[in-house]
Structure formats: C-alpha cells, structure tokens
Amino acid sequence: MTITAPAPAPVEHTLDPVSFATDLGRKIQPFSESHDRAGTFVAEAYELFSRSGYFALAVPEELGGYGASIRDVAAAQRTLARFCGSSALASAMHQHVTLFTAWRYRRGLPGAEKTLRRIVQDAIVLVSTGGADATHPRGSARRVDGGYRVSGRKIFCSQAPVGTVMSTMFPYADPESGRIVLNMAVPLGAEGVTVQNNWDALGMRGTGSHDIELDEVFVPDAAVLARRPYGVLDPPLQVIFSIALPVVAAVYLGVAEAARDAAVAAVRDTSKAANPLVQRAVGLMNNRLQVASWALDGALDAVGDDPAPMMETVVAVMAAKREIAHASIEVCDIAMEVTGGQSYYRGTIERCYRDVRAAKFHPFTPEETLQHAGLVGLGLPPGQH
C-alpha cells in the first residue's frame, strides 16, 4: 500500500501539539476498532497524517515543518493514543526518526536536510528497525564496489505498508576495525526488499509491524550514515534512545489514560460509583497515572530539546519508561475490574488492555532497565542488550 494523498500545503509555523493531535484523533477514532478486529493497517489515519502535514511535526521550521520539540512530539503521540493506540504507536516510529534526523541536521551531518525536506514536500514515511536491532542488529553486510550488499530479516517494522525509507542497521566484518555496525537508509522500494505482511499480534494490531526481508540489497556509500562499534551502547545510540523512548512511552501512557476514561464513564452515573472499592480503584488509577506522568516529564527534562550523548540520560529515560509500562498495565487491569464483566466484551477498555501489553517489549525490558542502571551506578561497563 502507498499513501495517495497529495503533498501537504506549506505549514504555518504555529503549533499546539495537543490540539493538533486531538483534532486528528477524533477523525481516526471511528476506524480504530475495525482495524483492530481485522489486524489491518490504520490506513485512514495515515491519509489524514499525510494531508495535514503531521508527518512534518518535528521538521525544523526553516525547512517547512512545525519545528516540534521532543516534548511536543511526546505530548502529541500521547494524545493520539487516547483515540487509537495503533495509529499513535506506528506514527511514533516516524516521529522519533524525524526528531533524530533533525538532531543530525543541526550538526550538519550528511543526508539529514534532504530527508527532512522530503518529509515536508512528499510526506515520506520513515520506518525504524532499531527497536529490535540496537546493539546487535540482525542480518549481514558485505563490501562491494560503491557500497554494500545487505541481507537479513528485520522484525517489528511498524508502518511497513506505507513506509518510504528504513532507518536500519547491519553488522559488518570490517577488515581493519573488526565487527562493526553500519547505520543506513534503505528505500523500501529498492530491489530485494520484501514486506512480509505477517503482523498478527495480541495488541497494537493496526500498526502494520510486518517483517521486512532484505536479499542482497545494494546500499551505496552515501546512504551509510554512521559506522558504530558492535554490541555497544555508543554515543549515537545513546542519543537515539534518549529521543525515541520518551515518545514511545508517551503512547502507552495515553493508552492507559483512555482505559481510565472509559472505565470512569462506564460507572460514573451508576450505583457502582457509591461503592467504596470502586472509588478506591478510580483513585488508584489516577494516582498511578499521575506518577507515570511525572516520570515522563522528568525524562523529558533530562533529555532537553537537543540532547548530548550521555549514559545518565539513557538511565533516566529507561527508568521513566519502566515506570510508565508498569503503571499503564496496572491501570488497564484496574479499568477492567472497575467496569466489571462488560469490559470483557470487545471495546475500548479491552483493546487498551491488549495494546498496553506491548510496553514491556521496547528496549530495554523492565528487568534489563534495572540491571543497566545498576551497572552504571556501580561504575561498571554497561551490559550488552
């Protein structure tokens, strides 16, 4: 599938990310349930993102975008998630790659400005494979004249049905440096790239997170954006994690808020509202969401608008993501209990209950987060994830 909407009109450089996302969310919400049931990609949402210029949310203003900060993007994705978790999580992958590309643009790094201009002019969609690659990417690369040939299967490639370019990584046995990681941009339309159409999951069923198979795909030298040590959370990856994970975590917080809102709406005007146990449960949901919101704010404060690579920032971001994951899952569980048997039927709370389970699978897992923080706290070399 490809997005057929025309390129958006030039962006007016004013931004209220929550209002922007709320308007889009109200329009995409009617399609959320049907895509969840069928396990099909949230195509209508992406048509709206294309027409509205939402893909350019994080593109700097001087290049025609909205110039949204990391905090702005996190707020927008959190808001979208209250209407459709799949649309919010899928588009978060484009948004965090755009944010990192803007980070590279501010440092004059090659290819960044061209990519950002294409987001504005052509509404291209950037697909990230880093969540399942990170320090130990799948596949292989071999040197050929003018570039590399890469092969392998990338998993959890959200937005694959409409993606334009993959931001991905491959290991390479460098004759001088030994095993390293090549960060590269690979067009999804390149010869040898195949989207597998195999996403069929418990939750987030509309994200189109298919596997992508690459078979001897040629990547020119100009598309290789970085050469990194293998198995190491090095400075560029520290920046990527610091930017990406608050945006991703914000989505799950929004999903949990949607479950809380639906549960409260279901019992507010019934006799259940007079039950002290229901009152306590609603109070607990609000308490957990408040603390998780503070965790997100703290992570965003640590990251700032233009983060430098720092392992301490990664630790702070991962701590916030862990708290948000646990709190969001607990809130969705409580929302089911507050609502009672009716929540077992297909609907908003049941969908949130399933969608939020994915929060633990983004790197680092909750247990890896604790081990990594402990190693950093002890002054020991961080473990390999």
What structural domains does the chain harbor? 17-124 (1.10.540.10), 130-229 (2.40.110.10), 235-377 (1.20.140.10)
Owner of token pair 């027409």: 51
pLDDT attached to residue 6: 43
pLDDT attached to residue 168: 96
pLDDT attached to residue 33: 95
Q: Please state at what angle helix 235-267 crosses helix 85-106, rounded to 10 degrees.
A: 150
Backbone φ and ψ of 141, nearest 5°? -130, 140
pLDDT attached to residue 385: 53
Contacts of 311 (CB under 8 A, 6+ apart): 233, 238, 376, 382
Mean pLDDT confidence for 308-326: 98
DSSP conformational letter for 273: G
Helix boundaries (H) for the chain: 17-38, 43-52, 70-81, 85-106, 112-122, 130-133, 235-267, 276-303, 311-339, 348-355, 366-377
Q: Is the pLDDT of residue 23 over 70?
A: yes
Q: Is the pLDDT of residue 2 over 50?
A: no
* Alpha-carbon dihedral 309, 311, 312, 318, rounded to 10 degrees: 110
State pLDDT tens for residues 183-240.
999 999 999 999 999 999 999 999 999 999 999 999 999 999 999 999 999 999 999 9
State pLDDT tens for residues 270-294.
999 999 999 999 999 999 999 999 9
State pLDDT tens for residues 75-118.
999 999 999 999 999 999 999 999 999 999 999 999 999 999 99
Contact 111/133 with Cβ under 8 angstroms? no
Q: Is the pLDDT of residue 154 over 50?
A: yes
DSSP conformational letter for 270: S
Mean pLDDT confidence for 231-252: 96
Q: Is the pLDDT of residue 45 over 60?
A: yes
Mean pLDDT confidence for 154-161: 97
Owner of token pair 């294409």: 118
pLDDT attached to residue 7: 43
Q: What is the pTM of this model?
A: 0.94
Q: Is the pLDDT of residue 365 over 80?
A: yes
pLDDT level of residue 134 (50, 70, 90 thresholds)? confident
Angle at 79 between CA 204 and CA 291, to 5 degrees: 95
pLDDT attached to residue 130: 77
Q: Is the pLDDT of residue 1 over 60?
A: no
pLDDT attached to residue 384: 55
Q: How far, in Å, are 139, 260, 332 from residue 356 at the CA level?
A: 29, 13, 8
pLDDT level of residue 381 (50, 70, 90 thresholds)? confident
User: Mean pLDDT over all residues of the chain?
Assistant: 95
* Percentage of the chain exceeding pLDDT 70: 96
Contact 41/209 with Cβ under 8 angstroms? no
pLDDT attached to residue 141: 98
Amino acid identity, position 64: G
pLDDT attached to residue 383: 63
pLDDT attached to residue 5: 43
Mean pLDDT confidence for 59-74: 98
Q: Is the pLDDT of residue 13 over 90?
A: no
